[in-house]
Structure 1
Amino acid sequence: MASSPLRPKTTLKHARSSSFPSTSHPIVSQFDEHLSRVKSSSEATSSSLSSFTCRLGDLERLFDYTEDLLQLPHVQQAISREKLDELLEGYLKILDVCATIKDLLSNEKQNGQDLLSALRRRRNMDDISSYLTPRKKSKKMIRKLFKNLKSMMKENNFTSKKPETSAIVGELQDVQLVTLGLFKALLSYFNGTGSQSSNWTLLSKIMPSKSEEVEANEFDNVDAALCSLFSHNKTSKYEELISQLREMEATIEVLEDGLECFFRRLIKTRVSLLNILNH
């Protein structure tokens, strides 16, 4: 990989033991600078498609810096076998989460295409309502994965702040933390604002709660259009739902492309860690 342009040096600031030499390598400075930038962007409250694509792009660049960092001999020496095992396990979990999110998006796109087909053929409401069951199943899986992510982030944050954790290991764990944070935000976006408080119909379980004052996204708009169709069953409602489904499909395809590229970067980083372990 071609090395990235050098940027002004910054100083790593950590209240823990550090294995870095007193004068950091320029790559270390670049890595530290970009990690700080990604951390700052992750605190933004915007949850739009453009914000997610930007954050995914920033994470890909961060992993480029991480790849360069892991090639430095003194960094490889600073990572003890025990800490290397922890990092490898962490990246394996991240790969699993990324793959699961990709599968969820793929399933949702297929379900949406099936619903589009039913709408175009003007099938009866039973055929159209078949979309509700997989959507409800997806939301259940998202809630479970969301809970696991929160637990993983808590554990990662605790481990990275241990006094015996070296600066480089702590920062590599911070990379994992911001990655998990993006996945968590993405799952919330994918899940929409649906309320699970009502149990009178499948439809009520995927619709937003009236008490929730949040901006609707493409997934919410499909749920709302579907609800409107069931309420009125007019031709205009069919067209509205078809339009919302197409928008949702386009959003999913953008997210799928971004996650696929990022998934390959994750694999490359894990391979680099495995190479350090095997030497």
Structure 2
Amino acid sequence: MACHTRSVSLPTRSHPFLLKAEEELNKLQAYIGSSSLTCEIMLDALKAVGHVYESINELLCMSSNQNGFSHMQHRRWIEQELEESVKLLDICSTSRDNLDIIKYYVQDLELATRRGDLVASKCKLRDYNLIVKKASRDLKMQIFNKNESPEGDSLVVISLLLESREITISVLQSIFSYLSRQIIDQKSSKWSIVSRLVNKRTIACKGDAASIRVNVEELENGVESLFRHLIQCRVSLLNICSL
């Protein structure tokens, strides 16, 4: 996204882009707090996060905003966020790659159940569970610097970046939490679930493998879109540091 030149002061809490970002963040809190996650909710959450970063990027790209960040203290905050942005990009990229792996496991599971191969279906089910659990565990292990949110309107964009980073991790965690419940019925044994897969071609009464594969593909595309928004914000932060 190209940066636009604007003759305005540093953004305050009443700035339209900031208000838009805060509106989307409020939506995200509701999504994450939902007791019954669905693929639609997860896709909406990914879109909302993308809208937040679109607004942040617009704020960062404001010419006068960049000049305002030239102050040494302000630059320190920008440099810290630049460092953290690398970690967030890595996390998003890894999540995207894990979704791609999960997609192929679901495809293999679909093929095995169509053939009526109970043993192969059990193996694919185990593989699916392992990668979903690993992806969820990896996200929980991610540690960011606990930077305190800066005070005052002059650094409100930094505060927004801090909040957005936390909600982004929560959304990614929710995706794998959702996927972990698509195949496993905690009240049933894995073998009985595989039996139902082969005999009825259903997955824990939540839908067949084909529908889950489609959901994973949609989520993968959503994470890819989010990754591009994060890249744009990082470029804007780099541009500020180069002034």
- The answer, yes or no, to whether TM exceeds 0.5 is yes
Other-structure match for 2:44: 54
1:160 to 1:178, Cα distance in 2 relative to 1, 3 A: farther
Instruction: Give the Å deviation of 1:270.
Output: 0.8
Other-structure match for 2:202: 240
Question: Match for 2:65 among 58, 75, 96?
Answer: 75
Query: How far, CA to CA, are the matches of 1:59 and 1:67 in structure 2?
Result: 12
Other-structure match for 2:123: 130
Equivalent residue of 2:61, what SS? coil
Other-structure match for 1:97: 91
User: What aligned pairs does 1:1-279 form with structure 2 within 5 A after superposition?
Assistant: 24=11, 29-44=15-30, 45-46=33-34, 47-79=37-69, 80-123=74-117, 125-149=118-142, 151-152=143-144, 155=145, 158-161=146-149, 166-192=155-181, 207-210=184-187, 227-230=192-195, 235=199, 237=200, 239-241=201-203, 244-279=208-243
Instruction: Give the Å deviation of 1:255.
Output: 0.8
Where structure 1 has 5 or more consecutive residues not aligned to the other structure, the ranges are: 5-19, 194-205, 211-222
Query: How far, CA to CA, are the matches of 1:245 and 1:48 in structure 2?
Result: 16
Higher RCO (CA 8 Å, separation ≥ 6 residues): 2
Instruction: Give the Å deviation of 1:266.
Output: 1.1
Equivalent residue of 1:240, what SS? coil
Instruction: Give the Å deviation of 1:227.
Output: 3.3
Residue 193 of structure 2 aligns with an amino acid whose one-letter code is S
Other-structure match for 1:198: none
Equivalent residue of 1:70, what SS? helix
- Structure 1 length-normalised TM: 0.69
Instruction: Give the Å deviation of 1:163.
Output: 5.3
Instruction: Give the Å deviation of 1:251.
Output: 0.5
Does structure 2 conserve the Cα–Cα contact (< 8 Å) formed by 1:59 and 1:179?
Answer: yes
- Structure 2 length-normalised TM: 0.78
Which of the pair has more CA radius of gyration?
A: 1
Equivalent residue of 2:116, what SS? coil
Instruction: Give the Å deviation of 1:224.
Output: 8.2
Q: Show CA shifts across 1:103-148 (max 9, x none).
A: 111111101111222222233x322222133223213313422322
Where structure 2 has 5 or more consecutive residues not aligned to the other structure, the ranges are: none
Does structure 2 conserve the Cα–Cα contact (< 8 Å) formed by 1:226 and 1:241?
Answer: no
Equivalent residue of 1:134, what SS? helix
Q: Show CA shifts across 1:170-200 (max 9, x none).
A: 222222222222222223222338xxxxxxx
1:209 to 1:117, Cα distance in 2 relative to 1, 3 A: closer
Instruction: Give the Å deviation of 1:209.
Output: 3.5
Does structure 1 conserve the Cα–Cα contact (< 8 Å) formed by 2:78 and 2:241?
Answer: yes
1:74 to 1:173, Cα distance in 2 relative to 1, 3 A: farther
Pairwise CA RMSD: 3.3
Query: How far, CA to CA, are the matches of 1:70 and 1:102 in structure 2?
Result: 26
